[in-house]
């Protein structure tokens, strides 16, 4: 599976420009997909790191993969709250200017 880097970048730019990433559910879907890939491709990822750095798979998991998985879970848990509308507080200096 060889894809040119240039084509991959252009494809990602086109996807971003489509506005799809503005939707919270789309972001969650992408995060879940990334999580599944990290879990299902564990062997390939750790093998590649072993070939490059001679690092044991367990260490790669604890230093690299597990951190990303924890972050994905954290973001999935709080994304709705972070993206919800927030009423802006008005200060006395801007009340008359609105």
Q: What is the pLDDT of residue 44?
A: 96
Q: What is the mean pLDDT of residues 14-28?
A: 89
Question: Residue 64: which domain range?
Answer: 22-82
Please state, in angstroms and rounded to a whole number, the distance separating the CA atoms of residues 8 and 21: 17
- Taking the CB of residue 16, how many other CB atoms lie within 10 A of it? 11
Query: Has residue 98 been placed in a domain?
Result: no
pLDDT greater than 90 at residue 39: yes
Which H or E element spans position 40?
helix 24-40
Say how many domains are in the chain: 1
Short-list 43, 36, 44, CA closest to 76: 36
- Decide if pLDDT at 3 tops 90: no
Task: Assess if residue 70 is contained within a domain.
Answer: yes
User: Do residues 64 and 42 make contact, with C-beta atoms less than 8 angstroms apart?
Assistant: no
- Percent of the chain scoring above 90 in pLDDT: 68
Q: Which residue has the tokens 């996807």?
A: 15
Judged on CB neighbours under 10 Å (0-12, 13-18, 19+), 61 is middle
């Amino acid at each position: 599976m060889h894809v040119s880097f240039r084509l991959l970048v252009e494809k990602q730019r086109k996807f971003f420009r489509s506005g799809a990433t503005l939707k919270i559910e789309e972001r969650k879907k992408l995060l879940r997909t990334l999580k599944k890939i990290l879990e299902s491709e564990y062997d390939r990822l750790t093998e590649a790191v072993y070939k490059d750095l001679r690092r044991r798979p367990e260490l790669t998991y604890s230093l690299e993969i597990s951190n990303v998985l924890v972050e994905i879970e954290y973001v999935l848990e709080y994304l709705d709250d972070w993206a919800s509308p927030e009423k802006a507080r008005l200060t006395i200096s801007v009340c008359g200017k609105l």
